[in-house]
Amino acid sequence: MPNPLISQSDIDTFQKDGVVIIRGLFADHVDALRDGIAQNMADPGPYAAENLKQGEAGRFFDDYCNWQRITPFQDVIARSPAAEVAADLMQSDRVQMFHDHVLVKEPGTSKPTPWHSDGPYYFVEGRQTVSFWSPVDPVKEASLRCVAGSHMWPKPVLPTRWLSETSFYPNEDDYMPVPDPDAEGMDIREWDMAPGDAVAFHYHVLHGARGNTSTARRRAFSLRLVGDDARYVSRPGPTSPPFPGHDMQDGQRLREDWFPVLYTRDA
């Protein structure tokens, strides 16, 4: 039986569409996530970024790979049902940590999060991958938007740098151009969300978010996890996150001392 937070229908939807809403996944951990985000913003890590060009209003902060130094994030990862729910959604017997990600849009930040899929930025590939995107503030206009079924497209979406809008890798022909889902009438899924709700989506699902033109903050925590079939794959350039010095080779599982196993299903 799946975790009580989800149904077989949720699992089927995730497998088919690559995206599903999980209500209340982090509902018991919202205060801890808020504390962790505050710590992260007060003491950013080496990958922290401000994603606005000069003259653009508001603030769009993001940072990742901080869970090992921010205790509230460690606690949420260990104590929340996220890893078990991930195993159910991915249909995997075990779940490994990949990385955490904080994204904050302050009030009056009109800049949207560009359409992209995470998989091409990463050095891991597999059918069994899932990200959870969870706001710690009520969200309407600035909710995550995902294109259903895009994880099954024949080519991955070209990874680009958000500010310079340049290609991340030199081999652009291996990717499809970033589409315009609104103009092309694609099946976009988005939800009004309460703090602690989570969108679960596959690493290759195309997603983005509108700007935050409201008077309230939009703080979100993402947790990236992988399952049984995830393997290291080399890319033609530095990945994001880069994880320098990892020493993994193509086809290997992610090393467990860096990417710990969070959940193993009982036999």
Q: What is the largest CA-CA distance in the chain?
A: 57
The topology (CATH level 3) of 8-240 is: Jelly Rolls (2.60.120)
Q: What pLDDT, in 10s, does the model give residues 141-184?
A: 899 999 999 999 999 999 988 767 777 888 888 999 999 999 99
Sign of the torsion angle spanned by Cα atoms 50, 226, 230, 11: negative
Q: What pLDDT, in 10s, does the model give residues 208-263?
A: 999 999 999 999 999 999 999 999 999 998 899 999 999 999 999 999 999 999 99
Residue 226 and residue 129 in contact, taking contact as beta carbons nearer than 8 Å:
yes
201: how many CB neighbours lie within 10 A of its CB? 31
Tokens of 116: 């992209």
- CA neighbor of 36 nearest in space, from 141, 134, 142: 134
Query: What is the reported pTM?
Result: 0.96
φ and ψ of 5, to 5 deg: -70, -20
How far is residue 225's CA from residue 98's CA, in Å, rounded to a whole number? 5
Residue extents of the structural domains in the chain: 8-240
